[in-house]
C-alpha cells in the first residue's frame, strides 16, 4: 500500500510537473508570442525610424546638394566677376601703358622738335653772328676805304693846290717877266723916242743955225 501511495504520489508529482511544464510552456509560448510581437513592433519601429532617417538623410542630402549647388554657383559667379575684374584691370593697365607710351612718344617727338628748333636757332644765330661780323668787317673796310679815299682826295686836293700854286707862281713870274720886258721895252722906246726927239731938236737947231 505504501508502494502504491508512493507511486500515486510520484504520478501526481509527475502530473503536477507536466502541468507545471505545460503552464511554463504556455507561458513561454505566450512570452514568445509577446516577444515575437515586440520584435515585430521593434522591427516596424526600426523600419519606420530607418525610413524617417532615410527621408531625413535624403532631405539633408538634398539641402547639402542645394547648398553645394548654390555655393558652386556663387563661386562660379565670383570667378566670373573676378575674371571680368581682372580683364577690366588688364584692359585699364594696357590702356595706361598705351597712354604712357603715347605720352612718351609725344614727349620724345616734342623733345626732338625742340632739339631741331634749338639747332635751327643756333644755326640762325651763328649765321646772324657771321653776317654781323661780316657786316662789321665790311663796315670797317668801308670806313678804312672812306678814310683812304678822303686821304687820297685830300692829297689830290693838296697836290692840285700845290700844282695850281706852282702854276700860278709860274704864270705870275711869266707875267712879271713879260711886264719887266715890256717895261724895259717901253723905257727903251721912250728913251729912243726921247733920243729921236733930241736928235730932231738938234737937227732943227742945226738947220736953224744955218
Model confidence at 114, in pLDDT bands (50, 70, 90)? very high
Mean pLDDT throughout 163-188?
88
Q: pLDDT per residue over 24-42, tens digit each?
A: 888 888 888 888 888 888 8
pLDDT (mean) for 182-198: 85
**Spatial separation of the C-alpha atoms in residues 48 and 45, rounded to whole Å:** 5
pLDDT category of residue 67 using cuts at 50, 70 and 90: very high
Least confident of 111-115, 124-128, 178-182, 202-206: 202-206
**Greatest alpha-carbon span in the chain:** 294
Higher pLDDT, 77 or 16: 77
Grid-cell match 531625413, residue found: 56
**Which pLDDT belongs to residue 1?**
62
* Dist CA 68 CA 59 (whole Å): 14
Q: Is the pTM of this model over 0.85?
A: no
Residue 84 scores a pLDDT above 90: yes
Determine the Cα–Cα distance for residues 29 and 142; give it in Å rounded to an integer.
160
pLDDT band, residue 153 (cuts 50/70/90) = very high
Whole-angstrom distance, CA of residue 150 vs CA of residue 142: 12
CA dist 22 to 179, 184, 204, Å?
Answer: 222, 230, 257
Average pLDDT, the chain: 90
Rounded Cα gap, residues 63 and 101, in angstroms: 55
Predicted confidence band at 143 (pLDDT cuts at 50, 70, 90)? very high
**Confidence band, pLDDT 50/70/90 cuts, at residue 210:** low
Amino acid at each position: 500500500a505504501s508502494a502504491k501511495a508512493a507511486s500515486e504520489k510520484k504520478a501526481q508529482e509527475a502530473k503536477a510537473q507536466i502541468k507545471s511544464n505545460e503552464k511554463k510552456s504556455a507561458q513561454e509560448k505566450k512570452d514568445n508570442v509577446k516577444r515575437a510581437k515586440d520584435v515585430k513592433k521593434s522591427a516596424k519601429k526600426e523600419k519606420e525610424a530607418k525610413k524617417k532617417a532615410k527621408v531625413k538623410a535624403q532631405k539633408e542630402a538634398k539641402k547639402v546638394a542645394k547648398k553645394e549647388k548654390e555655393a558652386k554657383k556663387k563661386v562660379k559667379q565670383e570667378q566670373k566677376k573676378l575674371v571680368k575684374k581682372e580683364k577690366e584691370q588688364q584692359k585699364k593697365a594696357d590702356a595706361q601703358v598705351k597712354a604712357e607710351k603715347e605720352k612718351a612718344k609725344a614727349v620724345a617727338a616734342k623733345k626732338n622738335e625742340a632739339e631741331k628748333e634749338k639747332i635751327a636757332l643756333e644755326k640762325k644765330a651763328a649765321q646772324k653772328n657771321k653776317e654781323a661780323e661780316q657786316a662789321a668787317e665790311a663796315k670797317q673796310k668801308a670806313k678804312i676805304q672812306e678814310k683812304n679815299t678822303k686821304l687820297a682826295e685830300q692829297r689830290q686836293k693838296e697836290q692840285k693846290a700845290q700844282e695850281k700854286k706852282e702854276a700860278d707862281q709860274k704864270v705870275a713870274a711869266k707875267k712879271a717877266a713879260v711886264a719887266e720886258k715890256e717895261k724895259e721895252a717901253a723905257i727903251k722906246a721912250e728913251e729912243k723916242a726921247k733920243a729921236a726927239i733930241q736928235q730932231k731938236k738938234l737937227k732943227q737947231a742945226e738947220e736953224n743955225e744955218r
